[in-house]
Amino acid sequence: MHRFIIVGGGAGGLELATRLGDRFGSTDSKTPSKAQVTLVDRNPTHIWKPLLHEVAAGSMDPFTQELEYAAQALWHGFEFQQGDLIGLDRANKRIKIGALRDDEAGELLPERELEYDTLVMAIGSTTHFFGVEGAQENSIALDTVSQAELFRKRLIAACIRAKHVAPEPVAAVAGVDEPDDPNVDTVPRIQVAIVGAGATGVELSAELRNTAQVLSAYGLHKLDPKHDVGIVLIEAGPRILPALQERVSTATAELLTKLGVKLMTGETVAQVGRDSIHTASGKVIRADLTVWAAGIKAPAILSSLDGLTINRLGQLIVRRTLQTENDENIFALGDCAACPWPGNDRGVPPRAQAAHQQASFLFKSFERLLQGKLLPEYTYRDFGSLVSLGHYSAVGNLMGGLIGGNMLIEGLFARFMYMSLYRLHVAALHGYARMVLDTIAHWLRRSTAPRVKLH
């Protein structure tokens, strides 16, 4: 049997493992598999990464949305191995997985080696701190559920503590800018600073405004949600959402300003302290909590994988077939792959839609591979971008033949389109019937629970 190993159970990796398992694997011990499909991930569960800002804001309970890899493997005819990728032997077609340990029980599984015929790297990306002093030590990234949960708990604790702190006049606080609202003469009793105004930073800032209001409504603090809880969004570039079209950026900036989010563009962060941020222009920004969402890079392990070629961001350089540049038996998809985009001066952007497209592409490619046919070339199709502003709104642009061009959308329709992206991911993993049931179950949970996780 041909042995497929997929390292990384993110959006693209899990979708590919599921489709390959459905096509070539077997869920019945009496029925032989046509190929052996193995998924490797360091975590036991999957969550769609674009949802992590909602986890951080408390507007989504991650434990109701997580998917157990072992259960998905059983249902769809593939095998799951938990552990970190720590090595690659290309000559013998083997990968090494690190030991699995538990804080209380110690070592659960030893180091292991797995043999492959075709290897797919889909390990995503990690936060890029750009060497900024204190950034990694004094800020929270949003790469994992545990990081998002850590921020949420610290936010609630800060709000509870802040209700016992008397408001300070602006004039009494050195280095604080005048508030945008002329009717406000005190500084926020708690301030959250978000470094990086890409999609994650923008979406989190909007969700946090809703969180502050809900926490106040439930009595966890008696602060004014808009004036006592400050939210500052810091961006080095001239505008927020620099990767998207300018009109999307402008529309989003107007909506955030209405929500009371302070936008600081053209400010490069030079240092992050425990309770402040220093910019290259000399500004000092108070920050009771700091979130770092300024950029991404590929995981460091890719730079030590037996000579595979990487770019300056640590991504594996791949051909249009998604095969790595110097090994035709190793493929890469998603954020960890530097894939060419014909007709553009940059590569395929690190977006969930790209990972989904590449997973679908590789599934069809591997069918041809097993038939001994030539592999096709991948072409990225940009269907536009959407940014969620919580339950308030959403904004973005839709592209392609469906609408005949490029259209700016916002409001309820944009919010519906944004929510449908996750539902399409669920459908890719479980089918449309189960997706509908999951949507109904999610709605029922939301109707009987607080809008924000309170503990």
Do 199 and 224 share a structural domain?
Answer: yes
Do 62 and 29 share a structural domain?
Answer: yes
**Is residue 363 included in any domain, yes or no?**
yes
Do 279 and 151 share a structural domain?
Answer: yes
Burial class (CB in 10 A: 0-12, 13-18, 19+), 288: buried
- How many Cβ atoms from other residues are within 10 Å of residue 34's Cβ? 15
Q: Identify whether the C-beta of residue 72 lies closer than 8 Å to the C-beta of residue 24.
A: no
**Is residue 378 included in any domain, yes or no?**
no
**Is residue 376 included in any domain, yes or no?**
no
Domain boundary residue, one of 269, 292, 315: 292
Do 221 and 202 share a structural domain?
Answer: yes
Do 220 and 271 share a structural domain?
Answer: yes
Of 200, 194, 185, residue with least CA distance to 288: 194
Residue 378 has pLDDT above 60, yes or no: yes
**Is residue 379 included in any domain, yes or no?**
no
CA-CA-CA-CA torsion sign (63, 65, 70, 75): positive
102-128 per-position pLDDT tens digit? 888 888 899 999 999 999 999 999 999
**Is residue 281 included in any domain, yes or no?**
yes
pTM for the structure as a whole? 0.90
Residue 413 has pLDDT above 70, yes or no: yes
Do 334 and 188 share a structural domain?
Answer: no
Domain with 211, as residue range(s), is 135-292
Do 158 and 266 share a structural domain?
Answer: yes
CA-CA-CA-CA torsion sign (160, 163, 164, 166): positive
Do 161 and 267 share a structural domain?
Answer: yes
Using 50, 70 and 90 to split pLDDT, how confident is the model at 184?
Answer: very low
pLDDT at 328: 97
46-75 per-position pLDDT tens digit? 999 998 999 999 888 888 889 999 999 999
Report the CATH number that the domain containing residue 287 is assigned in CATH: 3.50.50.60
Domain boundary residue, one of 241, 260, 292: 292
Determine which of 58-62, 356-360, 443-447, 448-452 has the lowest per-residue pLDDT on average. 448-452
Domain boundary residue, one of 257, 292, 327: 292
275-308 per-position pLDDT tens digit? 999 999 999 999 999 999 999 999 999 999 999 9
Using 50, 70 and 90 to split pLDDT, how confident is the model at 131?
Answer: very high
Residue 333 has pLDDT above 70, yes or no: yes
Residue 213, CB half-sphere, CA atoms under 13 Å: how many? Answer: 13
Of 68, 78, 75, residue with least CA distance to 3: 78
**Is residue 452 included in any domain, yes or no?**
no
Residue 166 has pLDDT above 70, yes or no: no
Cα–Cα dist 365/355, whole Å: 15
Q: Identify whether the C-beta of residue 194 lies closer than 8 Å to the C-beta of residue 240.
A: no
Do 320 and 278 share a structural domain?
Answer: no
**Is residue 130 included in any domain, yes or no?**
no
For residue 126, list its beta bridge partners: 297
The whole-number average pLDDT for the span 162-167 is 72
Residue 376 has pLDDT above 80, yes or no: yes
pLDDT at 84: 96
Do 77 and 217 share a structural domain?
Answer: no
Tokens of 200: 């994650």
Do 352 and 391 share a structural domain?
Answer: no
13-33 per-position pLDDT tens digit? 999 999 999 999 877 767 778
Q: What is the mean pLDDT of the chain?
A: 88
Main-chain dihedrals φ then ψ at residue 342, nearest 5 degrees? -55, 135
Question: From its phi and psi, is residue 117 left (phi > 0), alpha (psi between -120 and 50) or beta?
Answer: alpha
Q: Identify whether the C-beta of residue 237 lies closer than 8 Å to the C-beta of residue 265.
A: yes
Ordered strands of the 323-324 beta sheet: 79-82, 35-41, 2-7, 118-121, 327-332, 323-324
Residue 246 has pLDDT above 60, yes or no: yes
Using 50, 70 and 90 to split pLDDT, how confident is the model at 418?
Answer: confident
Strands 296-297 and 126-127: antiparallel
Q: What is the total count of domains within the chain?
A: 3
Determine which of 167-181, 195-209, 261-275 has the lowest per-residue pLDDT on average. 167-181
Do 104 and 17 share a structural domain?
Answer: yes
**Is residue 454 included in any domain, yes or no?**
no
Buried/exposed 258-284: b ≥16 CB within 10 Å, e otherwise: ebbbbbbbebebbebeeebbbbeeeee
Q: Identify whether the C-beta of residue 417 lies closer than 8 Å to the C-beta of residue 396.
A: yes
Residue 449 has pLDDT above 80, yes or no: no
CA-CA-CA-CA torsion sign (174, 177, 183, 189): negative
pLDDT at 183: 46
The whole-number average pLDDT for the span 381-395 is 81
DSSP 169: B
